[in-house]
Amino acid sequence: MLRLLPGFLVIVALFGGNARAASDLSAAEIARLSNMVRQDCGSCHGLTLKGGLGRPLTADQLAGMDREAVKDIILFGIDETPMPGWLGLLSEPEADWIAGALKTGTIQ
């Protein structure tokens, strides 16, 4: 449903009324996100995140990108590539947590 709205509305709807931050995620949520990154992102990026059809997502490979940019790619994807936007499945704080955990190599 969100997907059908113009981009700015999505951002307002998603971020405007959402006061949660990545640091508010519970241990159970973090475990679920870690499982998702390893198992589902891992279908393209590898269970160990060393790459596959998609590029590696190890901390050293992401060193040149800031956390915000990584989060945006997770939420909105990269045009003309198989990387989809995960906006329909992940919230902004969840994507932000994943971006941070990838950059620090701390996915469980």
Partner 1 sequence: MIRAGVSLVALVFLCVAAFATELRGTGDLGVVVERASGSVLIVDTSAHKRLTRVEGLGDISHASVVFSRDERYAFVFGRDGGLTKVDLLVARIVKRVVQAGNSIGGAISDDGELIAVSNYEPGGVRVFDAQSLDLVADIPAIHGDTNSGGSALSKVIGLVDVPGRRFVFTLWDAGETWIADFSGGDEPVLTKIGNVGTNPYDALVTANGRHYIAGLFGEDGLSHIDLWRAEPKAERILAGYGRGETRLPVYKMPHLEGWAEADGALFLPAIGRHELLVVDAKTFKEIGRIVVHGQPVFAIARPDGRQIWVNFALPHNDTVQVIDVPTRQIVQTLKPGPAVLHMEFAPRGHEVWLSVRDDNRLAVYDTMTFERVAEIAAQKPSGIFFTARAHRTGL
Count of beta carbons in the 10 Å neighbourhood of residue 47 = 12
Number of residues counted as binding partner 1 (CB under 8 A) = 22
| Smaller CB separation from partner 1, 1 or 19 | 1
Q: How long a stretch of residues is the chain?
A: 108
C-beta of 74: minimal distance to partner 1 in Å? 12
No. of helices (H) and no. of strands (E), the chain: 5, 0
50 binds partner 1 (CB under 8 A): yes
10 binds partner 1 (CB under 8 A): no
d(CA 59, CA 105): 5
d(CA 35, CA 40): 8
108 binds partner 1 (CB under 8 A): no
Residue ranges in contact with partner 1 by CB under 8 A: 35, 38-40, 42-44, 46-48, 50-53, 77, 80, 82, 84-86, 88-89
